Structure formats: C-alpha cells, structure tokens
Chain A
Amino acid sequence: MQLAGNRFADTSAAFGNDLYTLPSFPAEIRAPAGTLPGVSSFQIQIADWDISTSGDRPDCMVAMNPAALKSNIADLRQGGTLIVNNEAFDERGLAKAGYEDNPLIDGSLNQYDMIQIPMNTLTKEAVADKVSGRSVLRSRNFVALGFLAWLFQRPLEPIKTWTNTKFARIPNVAEANLAALKAGYNFGVTTEASRTIFKVNPATLPVGTYTNLTGNTALAWGLIAASYCAKLPLFYGSYPITPASDILHELARHKRLGVRTFQAEDEIAAVGAAIGASFGGSLAVTGSSGPGIALKSEAISLALTAELPLLVVNVQRAGPSTGMPTKPEQTDLLFSLFGRHGESPMPVIACSTPSDVVETTIEAARIALKYMTPVILLSDNHIANGSEPWSIPDAGSLPDISVPFASAPNGANGQYLPYLRDFNTFSRPWAIPGTKGLEHRIGGLEKENISGNISYNPENHQLMTDSRAWKVANIANDVPAVEVSGELDADLLVLSWGSSKGTVGAACRNLNREGYKIAYAHLRYLNPLPANLGEVVHSYEKLMIPELNMGQLRYIIRANYLKDAVGLNKVAGTPFYIGEIRDKILEIVEP
C-alpha cells in the first residue's frame, strides 16, 4: 500500500497539488497479511491551496481487504467514497479480520458511497501473459492506483516512468504492473463507477522548484547541507532504530558528498564515535530515537562539558521503553531538556513539518558550532515518515555557518588556553589535532577556567557551571523572537511545538475564518526559549498548549513564566486531528 500511496503522491505533486502524506506501518514486522495487526496504511491530503496537515477524515478510502476496512473505516467521513476489493471479502478474509457478517452486504456501510471493484479478476486478466504463480496478485495495488488516477484525474506518466525505472531489471514485472494500472484506470472509464469525480486543481504554491520530501530524507539532506554551510566533513554515528534508521540509510548513499557514516555496535558507541569525530574537526552527528538517546545520555554530558559541537537527532516515537516504535509522540521534550546528570543545560530545537526540516537542521548545526555545544534536534514519527513539497533553495543561498578553527596560541608565551572564552558568545576555541603548537588535553573532569587543566577548586566549579549555563541561555539573543499569528488581539493564544504545528495552524485559521478570535504561535526553540516568549504568553488571558504528550511544554511554560495553560494532551499513536484542536479551542472560547 505504501508503494501505491507514494506513487499517488508523486503524480499529484507532478500535477501541481499541494500535498501532505502520512504513512502508518504495522507495529509488527511480519504480521500476517489480512490480519488487523498487519494493516499498513497511507493517508494523503491533496489540495489546490497551501495545506499543512495530512487531513483529519478522508473523503475517499481504499480498502484492499476486510482487515484494512475494519481498522480504518471509522476515519472515513460520512458520505465519503469507499473503494473496496470485493473479492477479498471471502470467508477466509472475513474470518481473519474477525467479521461475522460480510460488511459489503449487511448494510453497515450504507452511509458511504461504495465502489466495489473485482481487483483480483482484473489483475489476473491484465497480467496473465506477463507473470505467473504468486506474482500475479502482487500487481493488485496498481489496479487500485489506476482507478484512483482515473477518479482524481491524475496523469499516469509519472507512475509509468517510476515503474519502468524501478523494475528495469525485471521488465515483465514492470509490464504487469503497468497493465494492472491501465486495467484499474479503464475500469473507471468504462463503468463510470463513481457518482463523484474529484477535481483538485493545481495549488498556487509560491514560485519555485519543488520536490516531495519525507522528514527523514529531509533530515539527512539537512545534515549534508549543514556540512556544506559549515565547510566541514559530515560524520554520522548511528545504531539502527525505528524510526531513525532511514536517516542512516540516506546518508550512507552520499559518499560522493564526503559523508562518513558509522553503523556502531551500540548507541553509546554511535555517540562516542561522533564525539571523537567532533574532537577531530568534523560536523559530528548521532541520531536515534528515545530509547537510544537514553543510552547516549552520559556521552552527551561529556560533549557538553568538553564543549564540543555535536548534533543529537531524536526522532521521537511512542514510549516508554520499546513502546510503540512506529507511532508518533512528542514525549521526549522533558527528557531532552533534563535527561542528563549534573547541571547540564543544552540547546533543544524541534522540526515541525517535513518541509521545515532542512532549515531547522542547518540552524541546529549553526548553534552547535558557534557555541561549541551539543544540540538536541527533535523530530518524530509523524514528521519522519510524512512527506510534503519542499521548495528547493539554491545551495549558494544557504547561510554560511562556518566557524574558524583555532590556529595560533591565545595565551602568553605561546600557550594555548582551550577554555579562554569568547567575550560575546562565551564559546571556547576549537583547536583540532594536527595543529602545531596547540596540543592540549580535555576531558570529563572539571576543567580550570581558561587553562582547561583539571581542577577540583570549588569556586572554579561554580564558575564553570555558571559559564556553561550562561552560554546556553545567551543563545536566546541569537534566535528569532516567537511570532504570533491569527487574531493578535484575541483572548486565547494557542501555543504549539514540533509536529503539531500544521494541525494547530489549520484549526486556528479555520476558526479565524469563521469569525472566532484566536491567536496562535509555534516554538522551534525549546531551549533556550525565545527571549520574548514570557511577554507573549502573559499578553493573552488564556493559553492553550496542545501536545502529543501529557503536558510537558505546559510544565515548562508554567515553570518559566508562572503562566497557567490549558492542555490538550493525547498519546494515542496518531497525530492530532484538526477537529480535536478545534473542539478544545471552542470549549475554551465559548464555555
């Protein structure tokens, strides 16, 4: 289903729609097909305007078998178009999904506009002379895709090109898939099966060249771009973990851009190797998800006290422990802020949508390098696997974030002082091995201010602790102020962070159009918080904070600004729906 979904996204992008996709994978890797745990789904919203979510309730749904129907039908809006492969609704299929009666005939689906397509027969007929045996029914998805292409009036060319490239080495499979595609399309043309043909015109996106990017690919590209902007080689240390592994896969392909990837023996080695590479002068990155980040915690504190630049990417998933690895959550915010021993403040910044990831990644690298500090960069399952059109910038227009290495002694008598801080940033110089005359030793023991020698002096420890904290706090003056959108003079401010941005923005914009006064703002910087945030939250009577956790940002806002907030909190394995945000807002504004 992922294949069909992605091809539909491609052809919609080529057609000029704005789009936003949300795939959902079975939690179990080899859950048997046709059973409820085995259902894999793909949701896409396409529009002729600028959208920011994958949509709440689909207008149209394809169910390839009874299990797929059962686990998703509740989402389809009343009166929506339901396309089913009726031949999958045999006794065996129904039993596997736990249906006692056949829903196609028992009237339970009467509220939908149902189109039944004999996909097995269509597939068999279409591919008969091309493939045989078990391969035959594999092309079923292309029948569904072909029918959708007709129903939504999509061009077939992008799908054909992709199929011919993908299956270039097995041309008979390519032909079978294209025949099935055609059969599905023709089924629409000849039966005029639907009462509604969906016409979604091209969106009026800003002028530019676009590509459709998932958050994980965007993160990998963002890292490559950051290394380009920093003029440093990229080193990525990682250990496979859902849902971060695709970043490793993508980076591993780009040796030509000088990328070094290191698949470590464990999470600790992954961050350790990155710290070693940072000591050696690379733009060093480690990536994982919550459980892996927990293992890295001690090493991150080393980078923090050694004051070495390091990016720590956390693609959040539902926890704690193994939790629900394929489902999104924003539950690692407090962990990111506080999950280390000792006094160990460090910058935390969060991506919000797939199209925002490249820029946010470059920004995280900028902060890490300029302030010689590890930085946590948050993404989540929703961003990582969702996709969105991204307006491609010119490489030449990207910011210069390079920081010069120390090249000469900075102390008296040719001495190098690794902890002599910059007056403005409080950052320390970065001297890398190979630089003559700057040989020095650093480590996890407390260092004497300026000289970096081991020091157990109590006043010095206080001074170094204060310096590290001040250095990070001061970054607030180097990041943009938080901007409020919508009706600025509203009573209610809705504050979001991370992947809820699109949904919150959409809900608020809709309500504003209906005449409700709502202000909304989004946070990219979670530590330090933007300098004006306290003033902003206090200038609204009511504050609402929706998060896919049990109230972590709310806790931070209360703690920092003594400002109370109403939470909208859920951890149900799905992103927010616009409707959920809307309902909560209405509850607050018209009690």
Chain B
Amino acid sequence: MSNVTYKRTDLQSDQEVRWCPGCGDYTILASVQTFMAQMGVRRENIVVVSGIGCAARLPYYMKTYGFHTIHGRAPAIATGLAASRPDLSVWVVTGDGDALSIGGNHLIHALRRNANIKILLFNNQIYGLTKGQYSPTSEVGKRTKSTPFGSIDYPFNPVSLALGAEATFVARTIDMDRNHTQQILAEAVNHRGSVFIEIYQNCNVFNDKAFIQLTGKTERVTNRINLQDGKPVVFGRSGENCVVMEDGEARIKPTASVSKDQILVHDPTRDNPSVAFSISRLAHGPFGPTPLGVFRKVRRPTYGAEMQLQIVESQDRGPGDLDALFSSIGTWTVT
C-alpha cells in the first residue's frame, strides 16, 4: 500500500448513477468514494465485488476494478480473489436480501474464515430491485406485495449474526451520517481480515423512513447509542441513559439509577464475542435505542495470509519441480 491520495472525483467512473432519486445509496456511495480517495491505496489495487440488488450496482460507479456477480455469491467470489491475491484491497457491497437470504451461507463462512475482505451490507429491510417484497431483515407483521397479511418471518439482526459467526470486525453505521460512516471505514481499512459493516440505508421508494428513529431530528438524539472504544456506554440528550451488564445481558438503565462503575465500558477488542453480542441484542431493529459503532475488533490470522504462509513454508525447502512430481510415486523404464 502506498501513500497515494486522490480527489473524490478520481474514484468516480464515467457511468451515470442510476438509483432512485433520494435513495440512501447515493449518500453511501459518496462516503465510500470520499473515504477511498484518501485511504492510501492505489485505485488499481482496489476491487469492489457485488452480488445482485440495488446496492450491487455500486461497483459500476467506482473507478477501480469491479465485478458485479450473481445473487448472494459475492463473499465467495471475493474470498477466492483475496486468497489468491493477498496484495489487493477487496471490498464486497451487498444488501440484506443478497447477503442474508440467498447468500447467507457464503457470508457466515467468509466471516468465520476471516477472509481478507471488507463487506458493506446496505440494509434497507426490503427488496428494492424486485420492487418491494419483505426481506430477511423486515420486521414481523410487515405488509408488502408478497405479505399482504403481514410478514410472519422472524428477521435477522445482521450484527448478531456476524458476531455469531465470530467475525473479527463488526460495526454498524447509517447512510445519513457520512462522518460516522467514514470513521467506521477508516477503522475498518486497517483491520486485517473480514470486516462486516451493516449500513442502515433508506429505501425511499419501498420502505421509506424505516430508520427514522435513528435519523429523525429529535428521535436520533434519544435513540442513538454510540459505541466508543474505552468509553462508558451512555446515550440520550444529556447522557440520561446508559447500558449495564446484568444477569449476563446488556440492559438499558437510567444513568441516575446506577453507580458510575456499573456502566458498561465499551471494549470491542474483547476476544470473547459474548458482550458484543449482548450489546447487539439491545435492539432487534432500528425501532428504539439502537447501538451504532464498532461492536468487535479482534486480531486473528487471515485466511489468505495463512494460505500464503503454507506455500511459502513449503517452498522454503526449495521450490517444487514438475519433473520431480511426475516421478514421485515409483517409476520404471522401458528401454
């Protein structure tokens, strides 16, 4: 990686951006381009891989290498790319349907392996591209074209799922807050291994205001729980609420009702993911107080580096030789 810096426009391809006007994807794209322009990686070494869905169009708008693939499989494709090319900065852009429904298997396995890929999951809690069916993160009871009587599917909490798969870097941010998004990206880019960032993304056409509790002028003040490394978890207009660990689970309490040392001090580097998981359970969806920030950030060898290491260690004994291979299981000569 070099210290190159670009302008945001250097990361913009010549393709016209074609999301619906007002879509949260525009904001995220701007955050990503702004961030990547100054992340210090040459653009020829960046690859953005996507699956299918509205979010998956993003690679076309980036002046980097890009691969728009098939539904749900981007984590697998990116894993192969990253494992065979440890020199690249590989990003996956996906959505809630792509990553959690059709591609759920690839997502959890990429995370558990700690493949060196950075997964941005745009969660809008709806199927946008196919025009408005409920998704695996839609709330129970949601009325959509495919659930006229209300959804009876219990949704995933993507952060809980990623923590359950023992992902080494797990975070959540929100489209409207570009500063927060870029802060999280900045922390993620230096992480070696799988990065999982859930980005709440407003689909103003099929699921407008799904995140209003976290974006509304008044609501966000009371509902955003900002997780900050090393800081006590307090939130609200004047820190009137806090998070404590009680009976093995994270709970919200009025700050005034607990002593100062009872308040949970956030530490994303805890090796055991159970506290991070508890924090993720504070909200099952963006309907009230909801944690945002980095839930977990731990070090573990990456899949690609380990693969490379086995090759390098084997070759330390001298490089392989095809002729030697061909005569390795016993030969005889006919003269």
Binding site for B on A (CB under 8 A): 10, 13-14, 16, 158, 204-213, 217, 221, 224-225, 228, 233, 235, 237, 254-260, 262, 264-266, 268-269, 272-277, 279-282, 284, 298-299, 302, 306, 392-395, 398, 433-445, 453-454
State in angstroms the CA–CA spacing of A89 and B334 once bound together: 43
> What distance in Å separates the Cβ of B158 from its nearest Cβ neighbour in chain A?
18
> What distance in Å separates the Cβ of A310 from its nearest Cβ neighbour in chain B?
11
State in angstroms the CA–CA spacing of A438 and B52 once bound together: 24
Of A262, A272, A392, A439, the contact of B63 (CB 8 Å cutoff): A439
Q: Which residues in chain B, 310-335, are within 8 Å of chain A measured between CB atoms?
A: 310-311, 313-315, 317-323, 325-327, 329-335
- Other A-B contacts than A221-B326, A444-B70, 6 sampled, CB-CB below 8 A, are A235-B80, A256-B318, A272-B76, A276-B67, A394-B323, A440-B65
Q: Is the interface of B mostly helix, strand, loop or mixed?
A: mixed
Of B15, B80, B330, the contact of A274 (CB 8 Å cutoff): B80
Kindly state whether residue B9 has any CB partner on chain A within 8 Å.
no
Query: Which of B43, B320, B335 has its CB near the most chain A CB atoms (within 10 A)?
Result: B320
Chain B residues lying within 8 Å of A276, measured Cβ to Cβ, are 49, 67, 76-82, 84
> What distance in Å separates the Cβ of B116 from its nearest Cβ neighbour in chain A?
12
> What distance in Å separates the Cβ of A267 from its nearest Cβ neighbour in chain B?
10
Chain B residues lying within 8 Å of A275, measured Cβ to Cβ, are 69, 77, 80
Knowing A257-B320, A439-B43, say if A433 contacts B85 (CB, 8 Å): yes
Binding site for A on B (CB under 8 A): 13, 15, 42-47, 49, 52, 59-60, 62-70, 73, 76-85, 87-88, 105-106, 109, 307, 310-311, 313-315, 317-323, 325-327, 329-335
Cβ contact within 8 Å between B106 and A272 = yes
Cβ contact within 8 Å between A269 and B325 = no
Chain A residues lying within 8 Å of B334, measured Cβ to Cβ, are 16, 204-210
Chain B residues lying within 8 Å of A225, measured Cβ to Cβ, are 322
Cβ contact within 8 Å between A433 and B76 = no
Knowing A273-B83, A439-B64, say if A210 contacts B331 (CB, 8 Å): yes
Chain B residues lying within 8 Å of A274, measured Cβ to Cβ, are 80
Chain A residues lying within 8 Å of B76, measured Cβ to Cβ, are 264-265, 268-269, 272-273, 276
Of A210, A256, A441, the contact of B333 (CB 8 Å cutoff): A210
> What distance in Å separates the Cβ of B219 from its nearest Cβ neighbour in chain A?
38
Chain A residues lying within 8 Å of B81, measured Cβ to Cβ, are 276-277, 279-280, 433
Cβ contact within 8 Å between B109 and A211 = no
Cβ contact within 8 Å between B66 and A224 = no
State in angstroms the CA–CA spacing of A284 and B85 once bound together: 13
Chain B residues lying within 8 Å of A298, measured Cβ to Cβ, are 70
State in angstroms the CA–CA spacing of A395 and B60 once bound together: 43
> What distance in Å separates the Cβ of A399 from its nearest Cβ neighbour in chain B?
13
State in angstroms the CA–CA spacing of A274 and B323 once bound together: 26
Knowing A10-B330, A224-B325, A433-B45, say if A439 contacts B320 (CB, 8 Å): no
Cβ contact within 8 Å between A442 and B68 = yes
Residue of chain B at shortest CB distance from A257: B320
Cβ contact within 8 Å between B84 and A277 = yes
Cβ contact within 8 Å between A273 and B70 = no
Knowing A279-B67, A280-B85, A441-B65, say if A256 contacts B322 (CB, 8 Å): no
* A/B interface sample: 13 pairs, CB < 8 A: A207-B334, A211-B327, A224-B322, A225-B322, A237-B80, A256-B318, A260-B311, A264-B109, A277-B84, A392-B331, A436-B42, A440-B66, A453-B15
Knowing A280-B81, A395-B322, say if A436 contacts B44 (CB, 8 Å): yes
> What distance in Å separates the Cβ of A88 from its nearest Cβ neighbour in chain B?
32
Chain A residues lying within 8 Å of B311, measured Cβ to Cβ, are 255-256, 258-260
Q: Is the interface of A mostly helix, strand, loop or mixed?
A: mixed
Knowing A208-B334, A269-B73, say if A445 contacts B68 (CB, 8 Å): yes
Knowing A211-B331, A434-B88, say if A256 contacts B319 (CB, 8 Å): yes
Knowing A233-B84, A277-B81, say if A212 contacts B330 (CB, 8 Å): yes
State in angstroms the CA–CA spacing of A413 and B80 once bound together: 33
> What distance in Å separates the Cβ of B178 from its nearest Cβ neighbour in chain A?
24
Cβ contact within 8 Å between A16 and B70 = no
State in angstroms the CA–CA spacing of A158 and B79 once bound together: 44
Chain A residues lying within 8 Å of B319, measured Cβ to Cβ, are 256-257
Cβ contact within 8 Å between B315 and A256 = yes
Cβ contact within 8 Å between A441 and B44 = no
Cβ contact within 8 Å between B80 and A255 = no
State in angstroms the CA–CA spacing of A580 and B101 once bound together: 51
> What distance in Å separates the Cβ of B104 from its nearest Cβ neighbour in chain A?
11
Chain A residues lying within 8 Å of B83, measured Cβ to Cβ, are 235, 260, 262, 273, 277
Cβ contact within 8 Å between A435 and B44 = yes
Cβ contact within 8 Å between A434 and B325 = no
> What distance in Å separates the Cβ of B41 from its nearest Cβ neighbour in chain A?
11
Chain B residues lying within 8 Å of A213, measured Cβ to Cβ, are 329
> What distance in Å separates the Cβ of B332 from its nearest Cβ neighbour in chain A?
5
Residue of chain A at shortest CB distance from B15: A453
State in angstroms the CA–CA spacing of A224 and B85 once bound together: 19
Q: 5 closest pairs, A vs B, by CB?
A: A273-B80, A443-B68, A276-B80, A257-B320, A272-B76
Chain A residues lying within 8 Å of B109, measured Cβ to Cβ, are 264-265, 269
State in angstroms the CA–CA spacing of A83 and B15 once bound together: 76
State in angstroms the CA–CA spacing of A126 and B66 once bound together: 68
Cβ contact within 8 Å between B326 and A211 = yes
State in angstroms the CA–CA spacing of A302 and B77 once bound together: 11
Chain A residues lying within 8 Å of B60, measured Cβ to Cβ, are 441, 443, 454
Chain B residues lying within 8 Å of A206, measured Cβ to Cβ, are 334
> What distance in Å separates the Cβ of A113 from its nearest Cβ neighbour in chain B?
31
Of B68, B73, B327, the contact of A272 (CB 8 Å cutoff): B73
State in angstroms the CA–CA spacing of A441 and B93 once bound together: 14
Residue of chain A at shortest CB distance from B317: A256
> What distance in Å separates the Cβ of B33 from its nearest Cβ neighbour in chain A?
14
Cβ contact within 8 Å between A441 and B68 = yes
Cβ contact within 8 Å between B69 and A444 = yes
Residue of chain B at shortest CB distance from A221: B325
Chain A residues lying within 8 Å of B69, measured Cβ to Cβ, are 272, 275, 302, 443-444
> What distance in Å separates the Cβ of A354 from its nearest Cβ neighbour in chain B?
13
Residue of chain A at shortest CB distance from B102: A268
Chain A residues lying within 8 Å of B85, measured Cβ to Cβ, are 277, 280-281, 433-434
Cβ contact within 8 Å between B43 and A257 = no
State in angstroms the CA–CA spacing of A466 and B43 once bound together: 34
State in angstroms the CA–CA spacing of A158 and B64 once bound together: 58
> What distance in Å separates the Cβ of A304 from its nearest Cβ neighbour in chain B?
12
Cβ contact within 8 Å between B322 and A208 = no
State in angstroms the CA–CA spacing of A274 and B326 once bound together: 25
State in angstroms the CA–CA spacing of A444 and B53 once bound together: 12
Residue of chain A at shortest CB distance from B43: A439
State in angstroms the CA–CA spacing of A453 and B16 once bound together: 11
Knowing A209-B333, A441-B68, say if A434 contacts B106 (CB, 8 Å): no
Cβ contact within 8 Å between B332 and A442 = no
Chain B residues lying within 8 Å of A437, measured Cβ to Cβ, are 44
Cβ contact within 8 Å between A439 and B59 = no
State in angstroms the CA–CA spacing of A3 and B82 once bound together: 41
Cβ contact within 8 Å between A433 and B88 = yes
Cβ contact within 8 Å between B332 and A16 = yes
State in angstroms the CA–CA spacing of A259 and B62 once bound together: 32
Residue of chain B at shortest CB distance from A258: B311
Cβ contact within 8 Å between B47 and A433 = yes
Cβ contact within 8 Å between B44 and A443 = no
Chain A residues lying within 8 Å of B80, measured Cβ to Cβ, are 235, 237, 262, 272-277, 280, 284
> What distance in Å separates the Cβ of A348 from its nearest Cβ neighbour in chain B?
22
State in angstroms the CA–CA spacing of A210 and B329 once bound together: 10
Cβ contact within 8 Å between B43 and A258 = no
State in angstroms the CA–CA spacing of A189 and B293 once bound together: 82
Of A209, A302, A395, A442, the contact of B70 (CB 8 Å cutoff): A302
State in angstroms the CA–CA spacing of A264 and B314 once bound together: 22
Cβ contact within 8 Å between B44 and A439 = yes
Chain A residues lying within 8 Å of B315, measured Cβ to Cβ, are 255-256, 258
Query: Which of A259, A279, A282 has its CB near the most chain B CB atoms (within 10 A)?
Result: A279
Cβ contact within 8 Å between A443 and B67 = yes
